Amino acid sequence: MSHRPEADAGVDGVDLSGRTALVTGSTSGIGRETALALGRLGATVFVHGRDRDAGRQVASAIDDAGGDAVFFRADLADVDTVHHLADEIRDRTDRLDILVNNAGAHFSAGHLTSDGVEQTFAVNHLAPFVLTHDLHELLPNDGRVVTVSSGVHHRADGTFDVTTVDDYDGLDAYARSKLANILFTVGLARRLDGPTANCCHPGLVPSSHLWREASLPVRLGVGLLAFLPQRLVGGFAETPATGAATSVYLSASPAVEGISGQYFSECAPADPSATAADDTLARELWDLSEELTGISWS
């Protein structure tokens, strides 16, 4: 059966004409399906990714469906490149109604970025932290920030030692970054006056390019799940389209208007881990993020 995220999210009747959305990491997987769905709902979509050809294909698909799309190329591993992407967005528009922090990565080997930060944490958390900071003044009072986290965050213990890759474990690093996404959402919701901020678990999507840098056993495992028919794995694995439903729901549904600082799964509020609900840890992570990026939020 063919799925459209907007139908699964119950928002296929929502009209986003006149709205502008930025979806990071939208050249493939969940991000691509999110961008296509928002385009079909009438939004002008800013498509982002590292692959120019793939980005242009997504933008063309949105245009062909009657929407309007622009592609922006940027690698989110370094703070300077995130600032540059934000500058390009601001040059293009003075209003951003929807920001979907979707881009994410999983690395089998530990590396530090040029900023001296473990790269999974840099791409998955610090990039949304900086990009949202740089663009939040473009958000109208009813603007929405959606950050894609993961149920894997339950694995993280709340330790954020991210300036070293000693004893690096790829899955632990990924879990840590996804925990950071939730804690960031909590802190952001308290700082935004008007716009809302929520995060979500999209489900396990084996066909996502997220796993292309994972270890061989992980790649083999998710590769097998991606190969199996959906009728066999539908109980615990998602397609990119079904995985995008909650992102689209949080971006477009009238039902979540005014709701902020929450974690969602399957288009409904869900309980994150106890660690993700730790207010002290949320404040400590915010302070660390400001220190690592050199930016300061009011």
What tens digit of pLDDT does each residue of 66-100 get? Answer: 889 999 999 999 999 999 999 999 999 999 999 99
Q: What is the dihedral of CA 204, 206, 207, 212, to 10 degrees?
A: 110
For the entire predicted model, the pTM comes to: 0.90
pLDDT of 225 above 50: no
State residue 139's pLDDT score: 98
Query: What is the spatial order of strands in the sheet that 68-73 belongs to?
Result: 68-73, 44-49, 20-23, 98-101, 144-148, 196-201, 263-265, 268-269
- Cβ pair 160, 288 in contact under 8 A: yes
End-to-end CA distance of the chain: 47
pLDDT of residue 234: 44
d(CA 96, CA 144): 9
Please state the separation of Cα 33 from the chain's center in Å: 12
Cα–Cα distance between 43 and 40 in angstroms, integer?
A: 7
Q: Could you tell me the CA-to-CA distances from 190 to 47, 142, 261, 271, 275 in Å, in that order?
A: 28, 15, 8, 19, 18
Looking at residue 39, its pLDDT comes to 97
pLDDT-wise least confident of 76-80, 95-99, 213-217, 288-292: 213-217
Q: Give the pLDDT score at 28.
A: 94
Q: What pLDDT does 203 receive?
A: 84
Task: Report the CATH superfamily, name and number, of domain 11-293.
Answer: NAD(P)-binding Rossmann-like Domain (3.40.50.720)
* pLDDT of 31 strictly over 80: yes
DSSP string, 246-288: HHHHHHH-GGGTT--S-EEETTEE----TGGG-HHHHHHHHHH
CA dihedral 49, 53, 56, 62 (to 10 degrees): -90
**Is the pLDDT confidence value at 167 over 50?**
yes
Distance CA(279)–CA(30), nearest Å, equals: 29
Region 185-207 average pLDDT: 89
- Pair 110, 168: CB distance under 8 Å: yes
Residue 174 annotated among the catalytic residues of the structure: yes
Residue 223 has pLDDT above 90, yes or no: no
pLDDT at 66: 87
Q: What is the mean pLDDT of the chain?
A: 91
**pLDDT at site 2:** 53
CA distances from 219 to 58, 190, 223, 298 (A): 25, 38, 6, 42
Mean pLDDT for 191-219 is 72
Q: State the catalytic residue, choosing from 168, 174, 249, 263.
A: 174
Position 8 scores a pLDDT of 95
Among 214, 187, 161, CA closest to 280: 187
Query: H or E stretch including 136?
Result: none
Q: What is the mean pLDDT of residues 131-155?
A: 97
